Chains A and B, each alone.
Chain A
Amino acid sequence: MLMFLLVRRTVIIRRMYSVPENITMFSAGAAAVGAVYPMIMAHTGGHGLPCPLRSLTGVPCPFCGLTTATVALTHGEWGTAAKTSPLAYLVAILAVATAPVLVARLFGLAPLPRRASDPTRRRISRVMIVIVALSWLFQLRRYGFV
């Protein structure tokens, strides 16, 4: 398996991946880290990636709680993850849904990803803005600002 991956390394590097596939690969890595994160943090005493906005002003950003939620998800603490950051659930669902495409592409079974059309990209941008705004509202509520 390792030789297979090493031989195909150049092809894998040159291969283009769609945005969801990029996110899926990152999520897989994040899940792996999340699984061992408490062990690491127990020894270093850290609290995860500091949020610049919260550190400077005390106000949380839309992405606050993602580290805690990722760790919770990888340990099967579904309620904790939902209460901390529903955004983590959305990313996890996207990652799981995209995983088959990614696997197909790694084995050369899927065609090159096609750039989404401009109207589609605009629609996706609008949806993302709404999702991020809702996540921000959620975090502001979680920290008692609203």
Chain B
Amino acid sequence: MAYQGTPSYSGVPASQYSDWIHRVGAYLIETLPALIVFYIFVFAVRVAILDIIVYLAFLGYVIYNRWILGGQGQSIGKKVLGMMLLSEETGQPIGTLNAFLRDICHIVDSIICYVGYLFPLWDAKRQTLADKIMKTVVVPAQQ
């Protein structure tokens, strides 16, 4: 039988953690369009004053999407693909500050040549190193 006897969070069996490819997909959905707009303005339009506005807009987008919405459980990408970012211990969203700190912890995932981002492929709770540090999990959203 699939995934019997594996660790659980709040009674949810390990097979209910979101797949790695879904997390990649969510990240691409919420990042690619913004990046494309960013690159168009910075590299194609090339108007200096617009550059500053675009950088600030991108920063505002990150703050809103990854920390405010992410802290509430669902950034845009996770909402589209039906996943939630929750605390491993409480089963609740982690809040804006913790979402920000979790993104800082992604430095750990990146510094070892991005291998930390591959951890969900084989980890029992499908966590990145940042997830392990912040004790978060990504699970399919309840219908």
B43 touching A16, Cβ below 8 Å:
no
- Chain A residues contacting B113 (CB-CB under 8 Å) are 51-53, 61-63
Q: Does A44 contact B (CB under 8 A)?
A: yes
- Chain A residues contacting B15 (CB-CB under 8 Å) are 16
Residues 113-126 of chain B, each 1 if its beta carbon lies under 8 Å from chain A, else 0: 11100000110000
- Chain B residues contacting A61 (CB-CB under 8 Å) are 113
Residues 3-41 of chain B, each 1 if its beta carbon lies under 8 Å from chain A, else 0: 100100000000100011110100010000000000100
Residue of A nearest to B110 (CB): A52
Residue of A nearest to B83 (CB): A13
Evaluate whether A114 and B81 lie within 8 angstroms (CB atoms) in the complex, with A22-B19, A26-B24 already known.
Answer: no
- Chain A residues contacting B6 (CB-CB under 8 Å) are 115
Q: Does B45 contact A (CB under 8 A)?
A: no
Q: Which of chain B's residues 84-122 have a Cβ closer than 8 Å to chain A?
A: 110-115, 121-122
What is the size, in residues, of chain B's interface with A at 8 Å between Cβ atoms?
27
Q: How far is the CB of A23 from chain B (nearest CB, A)?
A: 8
Q: Complex formed: what's the CA distance from A9 to B141 in Å?
A: 13
- Chain B residues contacting A3 (CB-CB under 8 Å) are none
Residues 59-79 of chain A, each 1 if its beta carbon lies under 8 Å from chain B, else 0: 001110000000000000000
- Chain B residues contacting A121 (CB-CB under 8 Å) are 122
Q: Complex formed: what's the CA distance from A22 to B126 in Å?
A: 12
Q: Does A25 contact B (CB under 8 A)?
A: yes
In order of increasing CB-CB distance, the 6 nearest A-B pairs are A61-B113, A22-B21, A25-B21, A13-B82, A22-B20, A112-B2
16 A-B Cβ contacts within 8 A? A10-B143, A16-B2, A16-B19, A19-B122, A26-B24, A29-B24, A40-B39, A43-B44, A44-B43, A52-B111, A52-B114, A63-B113, A112-B2, A113-B2, A114-B1, A121-B122
A9-B82, A17-B19, A40-B39 are known; give 13 further A-B pairs, CB within 8 A.
A10-B143, A13-B82, A14-B140, A16-B19, A22-B20, A25-B21, A29-B24, A29-B28, A43-B43, A51-B113, A52-B110, A52-B111, A63-B114
